[in-house]
Amino acid sequence: MTAMIVLGIETSCDETAAAIVTDAREIRADVVLSQLDDHTPYGGVVPEIAARAHLEHLDGLIRRALEESGLGLGDIDAVAATGGPGLIGGVIVGVMTAKAIAAARGLPFVAVNHLEGHALTARLTDDVPFPYLLLLVSGGHCQLLVVEGVGRYRRLGTTIDDAVGEAFDKTAKLLGLGYPGGPLLEKAAAQATNPGRFDLPRPMVGRPGCDFSFSGLKTAVRRHVEELGGPLSVEDRADLAAAFQNTVAEVMADRCARAMRQFKDLHPQGGALVVAGGVAANKALRARLQRLADREGMPFVAPPLRLCTDNAAMIAWAGIERLRLGQTDPLDFAPRPRWPLDPTAKPAIGKAGVGSGVKA
């Protein structure tokens, strides 16, 4: 039987990406163009700059993916593109390009939820069976979900304020480490000589439920920076970075432990703990979750680092998962800036009593 071959396109934020993936879990090509240099001067992603960069580079990346795979458009069986959530200008670029290819070649079109791309990556890399418990952590998202099938997600917890990736970026900025904050903060933390030097609060640890909070942790880092006064030394930055990173890992482990108990009640037959999203590339977090999973007797799965950050291979694979179920989208699909995996979940309630501003 001939393998299904899908072209995936990802343009939801500041990476332009194209990939060729087969239903035999073979990644024939996976190309990503970072816009880091375009956004670094602004200390964050500028939506208009991101959209223009996607428009300028996407066609070339698709050609490159086809060349690397040794295939042509005539060999492609379907086109999948991120349909949301994300920066709407960028999402539109990817969706319109995918629609054009699908229409011109008479191919099925699949609009993929970007979060579902992350959620299903472990099935591409490790063939993880349903159900499993997912910790989805990135710059815009921080959620614990039970993954029961394609399109079947039950949210157990989310952040009541900042996403963890956003907290990494803002903390790195406070420490003068630059952008993007996650990798730079992890690098600084590795140089710490006294990681226990600073005492930071552990928001939500020990509390009922599985929700997260990170704004108070950032405030505590700022207070330490102000107390140190003047330019921070290399040692100050490293020790504070390590304290922040270790605290986040401990908070994550506490929340995941509670989610594991709920997961086992829902699915006594068990399942894996999976971590996905850009923050899943953090080695300290991976190590802490591995220890937790070992203690709880659950398999632990973390995708390769290159498939944790935004990429088109995960979008192609999510498209394959949906195509296997006979699901496609019409060419009048409207891109979505917000697209929750569990639309029945209630908004997280923050300290002010209002729903959080988490992108979903």
SS3 35: coil
pLDDT score at 40: 76
pLDDT confidence of residue 37:
75
In terms of DSSP bridges, do strands 5-10 and 78-84 run parallel, antiparallel, or are they unpaired?
parallel
Q: Which whole-number Å values give the CA distances from 210 to 35, 160, 170, in the listed order?
A: 34, 11, 23
**Residue closest to 272 by CA, chosen among 256, 287, 288, 285:** 256
φ, ψ for residue 156 (rounded to 5)? -100, -25
Q: What pLDDT was estimated at residue 211?
A: 97
How many other CB atoms sit within 10 Å of the CB of residue 346? Answer: 9
For residue 83, give the amino acid letter.
G
Alpha helices (H) along 164-282: 164-174, 181-189, 215-228, 234-266
**Mean pLDDT of successive 10-residue stretches along the chain, which has 360 residues:** 92 94 98 82 79 94 98 97 96 98 98 97 98 93 96 97 91 91 95 96 94 94 93 96 97 97 96 96 96 97 94 98 98 96 81 32
Terminal Cα distance for the chain, rounded: 38
Residue from 195, 168, 188, 193 nearest 252 by CA: 168
Contact 169, 177 (CB under 8 A): no
With respect to CATH, is domain 5-120+307-324 assigned 3.30.420.40? yes
What tens digit of pLDDT does each residue of 25-84 get?
999 999 999 877 777 777 778 878 889 989 999 999 999 999 999 999 999 999 999 999
d(CA 161, CA 199): 21
Q: Supply the pTM of this predicted model.
A: 0.93
Dump pLDDT digits (tens) for 99-140.
Answer: 999 999 999 999 999 999 999 999 999 999 999 999 999 878
pLDDT at 356: 30
**pLDDT score, position 358:** 29
At 147, which helix (H) or strand (E)?
strand 142-149
Q: In the prediction, which pLDDT does 349 show?
A: 61
- Give the pLDDT of residue 230: 81
Rounded Cα gap, residues 275 and 128, in angstroms: 12
Q: How do the domains of the chain map onto residue ranges?
A: 5-120+307-324, 130-303
- Count of alpha carbons within 13 angstroms of residue 244, beta-carbon side: 39
**Per-residue pLDDT tens over the stretch 22-33:** 999 999 999 999
Task: Give me the residues paired with residue 133 across strands.
Answer: 146, 273
| Run of H or E including 314 | helix 313-324
Q: What is the pLDDT of residue 357?
A: 29
Fold designation for 130-303: Nucleotidyltransferase; domain 5 (3.30.420)
Q: How far apart (Å, rounded) are the C-alpha atoms in residues 18 and 88?
A: 18
Residue 179 pLDDT: 83
Token pair listed for 192: 């710490």
| pLDDT reported for residue 130 | 98
For residue 235, what are its two tokens? 């040692």
